[in-house]
């Protein structure tokens, strides 16, 4: 297939009719929070712009982002991954491997210098010269830097690439480092989640295609359209939270009735993602709807904010794992003991200095 074919060409070749095509464009506009007046712009971009070449690298990761991506709800959305973006290099999906595939990567980097998108799934281990993730005889860290040098933009797929995820949870033995700490001179978007929601992933690509730039990002470089609200604020169980009606154990009556999972460790109140609106698997459900507390998988360091099933996170404290209240009670106890000891000291000192003190009334 020619590299400069447009999306429309591909869709026509695949027998997608105009009606479905327009439906897809409208859906994307809704996900991205655009007004309906922007739909024609998306349509036009899809019809006229050549496909963007994408190099999709896999570092330390589990491929759950790819798995999520190919389960996009809309049929055309699913097409994106295999046809619409010119996915020229993806070592998981490619038939070729080894030197052949690396040659393709080098060729894209040369032919489309400054025009291709670098999509990274997973992160790079930086300890010991990056030996913990080797690709074709070189470290993934080097490969990442080399490929990023001529990229138009970088997409960090998933929590691994965005924040580090399980690989850089304490004690982070391989020195796993999120992409934004290694690539600083390119426009970069973080699409966290373990995995991210498929529609969120395609939404980001559609935006990139339509406007030729990254969507509006927040402080953590996440697209505002999808990571702009807490799961908690749009959770359908929120009334139970406000009322103080909580599930206390997974097999109690409250769990059965679908009350709030806050006391079961739900991280919804501290997690920014679109789960409670876009949902998963064609809008079927999301963890809280299925009766499981949110783990906060799209938040930085969520593995280190455990345990998953308690509200209060454990904190390293004098070599133990205690929660905030244990630390506080120990501190207050220590202060009280210290003051009691000091009081005894004061009494002894007063006795020594002035044995008559206690007998001298003020009256």
Partner 1 sequence: MEHVIEEQYVWQLPVRVYHWINGLCVTFLFITGLYIASPVLSPAIGEAVWYHKMAWFRYVHFGSAFIFLANFIFRLYWALFGDDKYGRFAGFKPWSPVWWGQPFNEQLKSYLFIKKEEPNYCGHNPVAALTHFLFIFCGSVFMILTGLAMYGENNPGGFTDTLFGWVVLIFGSSQSMHTIHHVVAWVFPVYLVLHLYAVIRHDIVDRSSITSSIITGYKHKVEECPE
**List of residues contacting partner 1 (CB under 8 A):** 218-220, 224, 228-230, 233, 239-246, 254, 259, 262-263, 267, 270-272, 296, 299-302, 304-305, 311-313, 315, 324-325, 327-329, 331-332, 335-336, 339, 342-343, 345-346, 349-350, 353, 360, 362
CB of 177 to partner 1, least distance (A): 14
CB of 198 to partner 1, least distance (A): 23
Find residue 5's DSSP bridge partners. none
CA distance 357 to 349: 11
* Residue closer to partner 1 (CB basis): 71 or 224: 224
CB of 169 to partner 1, least distance (A): 12
The answer to whether 131 and 140 are in contact (CB under 8 A) is no
CB of 158 to partner 1, least distance (A): 16
* Residue closer to partner 1 (CB basis): 1 or 324: 324
CB of 40 to partner 1, least distance (A): 27
* Residue closer to partner 1 (CB basis): 4 or 233: 233
Token pair, residue 202, equals: 């395609």
Q: What is the DSSP letter of 215?
A: P
Q: How far is CA 12 from the centre of its chain?
A: 34
Give the Å distances, CA to CA, from 189 to 12, 87, 207, 241: 31, 18, 12, 33
CB of 32 to partner 1, least distance (A): 16
* Residue closer to partner 1 (CB basis): 149 or 317: 317
User: Of the candidates 95, 108, 83, 88, which has an alpha carbon nearest to the alpha carbon of residue 10?
Assistant: 83
Instruction: Give the number of other Cβ atoms within 10 Å of residue 93's Cβ.
Output: 14
* Residue closer to partner 1 (CB basis): 103 or 347: 347
Instruction: Give the number of other Cβ atoms within 10 Å of residue 128's Cβ.
Output: 11
CA distance 76 to 12: 12
* Residue closer to partner 1 (CB basis): 111 or 218: 218
Ramachandran region, residue 258 (left: φ > 0; alpha: ψ -120 to 50; beta: rest): left
CB of 73 to partner 1, least distance (A): 26
Give the Å distances, CA to CA, from 136 to 103, 124, 133, 142: 11, 15, 10, 11
CB of 20 to partner 1, least distance (A): 34
* Residue closer to partner 1 (CB basis): 99 or 218: 218
* Residue closer to partner 1 (CB basis): 207 or 221: 221
The answer to whether 60 and 29 are in contact (CB under 8 A) is no
Instruction: Give the number of other Cβ atoms within 10 Å of residue 91's Cβ.
Output: 16
């Amino acid at each position: 297939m020619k590299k400069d074919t447009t999306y429309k060409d591909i869709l026509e070749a695949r027998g997608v009719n105009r009606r479905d095509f327009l439906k897809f464009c409208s859906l994307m506009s809704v996900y991205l929070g655009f007004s309906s007046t922007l739909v024609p712009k998306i349509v036009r971009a899809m019809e006229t712009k050549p496909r963007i070449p994408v190099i999709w690298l896999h570092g330390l990761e589990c491929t759950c982002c790819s798995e999520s991506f190919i389960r996009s709800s809309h049929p055309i959305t699913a097409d994106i991954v295999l046809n619409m973006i010119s996915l020229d290099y993806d070592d998981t999906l490619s038939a070729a491997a080894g030197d052949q595939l690396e040659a393709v990567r080098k060729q894209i980097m040369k032919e489309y210098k400054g025009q291709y998108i670098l999509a990274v799934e997973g992160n790079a281990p930086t300890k010991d010269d990056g030996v913990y993730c080797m690709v074709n005889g070189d470290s993934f860290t080097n490969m990442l830097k080399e490929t990023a040098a001529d990229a138009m933009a970088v997409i960090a797929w998933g929590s691994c690439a965005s924040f580090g995820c399980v690989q850089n949870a304490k004690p982070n033995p391989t020195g796993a480092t999120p992409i934004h700490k290694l690539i600083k001179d390119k426009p970069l978007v973080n699409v966290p989640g373990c995995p991210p929601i498929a529609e969120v992933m395609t939404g980001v690509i559609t935006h990139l295609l339509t406007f030729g730039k990254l969507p509006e990002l927040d402080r953590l470089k996440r697209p505002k359209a999808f990571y702009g609200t807490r799961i908690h604020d749009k959770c359908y169980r929120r009334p139970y939270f406000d009322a103080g009606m909580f599930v206390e154990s997974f097999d109690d009556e409250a769990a059965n009735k679908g009350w709030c999972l806050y006391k079961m460790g739900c991280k919804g109140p501290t997690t920014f993602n679109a789960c409670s609106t876009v949902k998963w698997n064609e809008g079927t459900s999301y963890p809280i709807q299925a009766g499981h507390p949110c783990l906060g998988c799209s938040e930085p360091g969520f593995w280190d904010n455990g345990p998953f099933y308690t509200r209060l996170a454990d904190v390293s404290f004098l070599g133990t794992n205690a929660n905030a209240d244990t630390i506080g009670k120990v501190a207050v106890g220590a202060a009280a003991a210290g003051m009691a000891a000091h009081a005894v000291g004061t009494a002894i000192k007063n006795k020594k200095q002035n044995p008559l003190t206690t007998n001298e009334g003020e009256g």
